[in-house]
Structure 1
Amino acid sequence: MTEYLVVSAFRAEAKYVPEGIPVLLTGIGKTAAAVAVSKALAERDTRDLVVLNVGTTGALRAGLTGLYLPSEVINHDLNAEAIRALGLDPRESLQVEGGDGTVLASGDVFVTDPVIRARLAERAHLVDMEAYGVVFACRQFGVPVRLVKHVSDSADEAAMDWPAQVDASARVLGEWLQAELT
């Protein structure tokens, strides 16, 4: 029987997770997410586990609203070209099973700058701060993972109003979980 672990950065994003489904809160950023997920996976039987990383996301392109299940996550604030020039694989892109074709850029930079937003929009549809760390950790443990993201802002100056938007996104994420898991 499949067991689920919902992973979110903040309690506010996981506020409407259906009762009985375990929730892991990681804190902000890829490193915090990777460490928290790794610790949780190391402490449990993962044979029938699926991790669901639910949370808010910024839209990098006009017209993107609603719920997305990204198929790829890229580590956008890694200097991948320099690492490749050294002859190493930066693993800046990870594929995610069961996605809808969208690409999520994940990094420790809170995107509000229009220049950074435009550069990221050339490679991705959405942006967040934890998904790459979650997916990377799950890969290390051989645990399936899905990304479930709701657009809360346009990754511009409006992103600073995230606290006022998070509850609406959390409701949609909770409804998706209710429909999918119960």
Structure 2
Amino acid sequence: MSSTGSTGILVVSATAGEAAHVPDGLDVVVTGIGKVAAAVAVTHALAKCDPDRLPLVVNIGTAGALHTHHSGLYLPSAVLNHDISSEVLRSLGHPVRDVIEVEDGDGSVLATGDSFISDAEIRDALAARADLVDMEGFAVAFACAQVGARCRLVKHVSDQADDSAMDWPAQVDASARVLGEWLRETL
């Protein structure tokens, strides 16, 4: 695991399984699952870099589809922090950044939260705000924004964010292969 290589690209993934097919020669940081782990790991990795030459951070990983017609690979244009009480905090006079726009996206919206979404009712409520759900994207994008690093989010649908999500461990390698191929073709 390195974050200071010469490629100018830092691939970030929550789990080693999701990064299993990253092409050789790319720097990879495996953050662990959840927003706190992701934010700390990305911040730590970027702190080791020359501030005048920050890498492009590419966050790859699996995501749950919030709409039944969603499948395949997505490059979200926006990511939102879905499990923070933004409205309440704002009403108390505390500004909260809960949406981040991401360059080079495909128009989709990713919702990030620390809850593993496997309930269709919760999925349907999130579907009013987003297309996909994960547990790290917002934290990665937020850490990048704080230090001025460019960020891309690349997510592959592994489940329908309902009871099928409980089969997520068996789906990770198939998603990792698609993500690795995207990296080979794009970077």
Q: How high is the TM-score relative to the length of structure 2?
A: 0.94
1:113 is displaced (CA, Å) by 1.5
Query: Which runs of no fewer than 5 residues in structure 1 stay unpaired?
Result: none
2:27 equivalent in structure 1: 22
Moved over 3 A (4+): none
The one-letter amino acid of 1:140's match is Q
SS of the residue 2:70 aligns to: coil
1:137 equivalent in structure 2: 143
The one-letter amino acid of 1:172's match is V
- Aligned CA-pair RMSD: 1.1
Count of matched residue pairs? 181
1:162 equivalent in structure 2: 168
Aligned counterparts of 2:171 and 2:49: Cα–Cα separation in 1: 34
Are positions 1:73 and 2:79 aligned together?
Answer: yes
1:10 equivalent in structure 2: 15
Aligned counterparts of 1:89 and 1:26: Cα–Cα separation in 2: 27
Are positions 1:42 and 2:26 aligned together?
Answer: no
Identity fraction in percent: 60
1:80 is displaced (CA, Å) by 0.8
Aligned counterparts of 1:145 and 1:45: Cα–Cα separation in 2: 16
Aligned counterparts of 1:89 and 1:160: Cα–Cα separation in 2: 35
Are positions 1:32 and 2:37 aligned together?
Answer: yes
1:48 is displaced (CA, Å) by 4.8
2:110 equivalent in structure 1: 104
The one-letter amino acid of 2:101's match is Q
